[in-house]
Amino acid sequence: MNKFFIHTLKVIFIVTLSMQNLFSEESFIPEPPSINAEYYLLKDAVSGRILAEQGADERVEPASITKVMTGYVVADQIDKGFISGDEEVLISEDCWRRGGSKMFIKEGTRVLVSDLIKGMVIQSGNDASCALAEHTAGSEEGFVDLMMVYARDLGLQNTNFTNVWGGPDEGHYSSARDLALLSQRLIEKFPDHYAIYKEKYFTYNNIKQRNRNSLLWQDDSIDGMKTGHTESAGYCLVSSGLRNETRLIAVTLKSSSEKQRLTDNRRLLDYGFRYFRTKKILSKFTSIKVEEVWGGEQETVSLESAEDVYLTLSPRDFKRVEPVLELEDYLQAPLQKGQVVGKVTLSLDGEMLKSVDLISSRGVEPLGFFGRAWSNIKLLAYRFLTDEES
């Protein structure tokens, strides 16, 4: 390969979305606030950028935050058509007797799956969690096995479940990072299910109970998710909110009190929303650059990003992002639609933020024998002249 391509073809291009005035001043972002919780993580739910963390991979008892996974499994089973929200569940004695937080279902009665989901999410009902597990997988033990299948599929590396409701057990654990990822995937994949997390009250069996996530009353931008508490787990909370088209997820584990876990979560969210925004920088299948094609029936082809690209930055930093287009080689026919021909790299102050594949927007058929031969001669001459200049 000649010297030109040893150094790789790099073409600087301007992305029209907030990518001007690259000379502006660097933004100042302070360190995250002091947090009482022993373990915490703050991340953007779209770009996945971690904005603050401490001990995020430590294995910790998640208490009732476990029910986020229980809900995820149930939502996916409904989505796949294995169960339905309109089905009635016969309540067993075991679920009726389950201690702790209750929806107050009764043994021998039949309850809609949709009501059990609300009882689990809003009222944090251990009895409702038990009933959903038995109905979905035949037993709580079978449902736990199912939870672990989902945990592996989601890539939760520091998570192990032994029950569906969050009861204390030394083998029952997760981490702030895993819980944030689980929450992120639930929000992305099951928005209708996630919408239940912002409901402030649910009444069943003539008993009205409030959502245990008091942040819902403090800030309208916060629309979920789940509290947890046992003596060994301390006070835990996963919360999420949406401001300025930016969705953040905060996880705090082992806060010292119920009031403190609210303060911890609120501090993280306020910090994230104050200093960061998430924006779409590149759109999938939108032309970035038109490039010459050698030896093809069409002389040019549009090049596109293979995926949507979102960045989470200080609002002032977006205009300082440097986008670079890198081609693997000169484009020569034949080309296939969607063929990877290079990469688009986005950097800030020399630090790479994101790199995605650059693809051909359409297929390009080659010329006939003589046309290809003449095109190859021109390309050889072009390469020779380029090498001489470099």
Where exactly are the structural domains of the chain?
A: 3-24+281-389, 39-275
Q: What are phi and psi of 282, to 5 degrees?
A: -130, 140
| Residue (of 291, 308, 295) closest to 362 by Cα position | 291
Burial of 368 from C-beta contacts in 10 A (0-12 / 13-18 / 19+): exposed
pLDDT number for residue 27? 63
Instruction: Answer yes or no: are the C-beta atoms of 98 and 130 closer than 8 Å.
Output: yes
| Residue (of 368, 377, 322, 328) closest to 348 by Cα position | 322
pLDDT tens digits for the chain (390 residues)? 443 333 343 443 433 333 434 334 456 899 999 999 999 999 999 999 999 999 999 999 999 999 999 999 999 999 999 999 999 999 999 999 999 999 999 999 999 999 999 999 999 999 999 999 999 999 999 999 999 999 999 999 999 999 999 999 999 999 999 999 999 999 999 999 999 999 999 999 999 999 999 999 999 999 999 999 999 999 999 999 999 999 999 999 999 999 999 999 999 999 999 999 999 999 998 899 898 887 778 889 999 999 999 999 999 999 999 999 998 777 888 889 999 999 999 999 999 999 999 999 999 888 654 444 444 444 454 454 455 454
Catalytic entry in 47, 124, 183, 240? 124
Q: Over the stretch 204-244, which tens digit does the pLDDT of each residue have?
A: 999 999 999 999 999 999 999 999 999 999 999 999 999 99
> Beta partners for 323?
346
Neighbouring C-beta atoms of residue 183, cutoff 10 Å:
27
Cα–Cα distance list, 66 to 201, 286, 292, 300 (Å):
20, 40, 54, 54
Q: Over the stretch 279-309, which tens digit does the pLDDT of each residue have?
A: 999 999 889 989 888 777 888 999 999 999 9
User: Coil, helix or strand for 89?
Assistant: strand
pLDDT number for residue 130? 98
Task: Note if the bond before 334 is cis, omega within 30 degrees.
Answer: yes
Encoding tokens for residue 158? 């520091």
The rounded distance, in Å, linking the Cα atoms of 171 and 245 is 39
Q: Tokens 């020399």 label which residue?
A: 350
CATH label, 39-275, candidates 3.40.50.620, 3.40.47.10, 3.60.130.10, 3.40.710.10:
3.40.710.10
Catalytic (active site) residue 64: yes
pLDDT number for residue 56? 98
Domain with residues 3-24+281-389, CATH architecture: Sandwich (2.60)
Catalytic entry in 47, 64, 129, 174? 64
Q: What are phi and psi of 169, to 5 degrees?
A: -170, 130
The rounded distance, in Å, linking the Cα atoms of 140 and 98 is 12
Encoding tokens for residue 308? 């949507």
pLDDT number for residue 5? 39
| Residue (of 390, 383, 337, 382) closest to 364 by Cα position | 337
The rounded distance, in Å, linking the Cα atoms of 375 and 364 is 14
DSSP string, 265-298: HHHHHHHHHHH-EEEEEE-BT-EEEEEEEETBSS
Cα–Cα distance list, 259 to 101, 178, 236, 269 (Å):
19, 24, 11, 16
Catalytic entry in 67, 102, 118, 226? 67
| Residue (of 251, 245, 244) closest to 269 by Cα position | 251
Catalytic (active site) residue 43: no
| Residue (of 200, 209, 179) closest to 64 by Cα position | 179
Cα–Cα distance list, 12 to 84, 323, 354 (Å):
52, 6, 15
Catalytic (active site) residue 347: no
The rounded distance, in Å, linking the Cα atoms of 300 and 361 is 11
Tell me whether strands 351-360 and 340-348 are parallel, antiparallel or unpaired.
Answer: antiparallel
The rounded distance, in Å, linking the Cα atoms of 168 and 345 is 46
Write the CB contacts of 265 (distance below 8 Å, at least 6 apart in sequence): 215, 237, 239, 250, 252
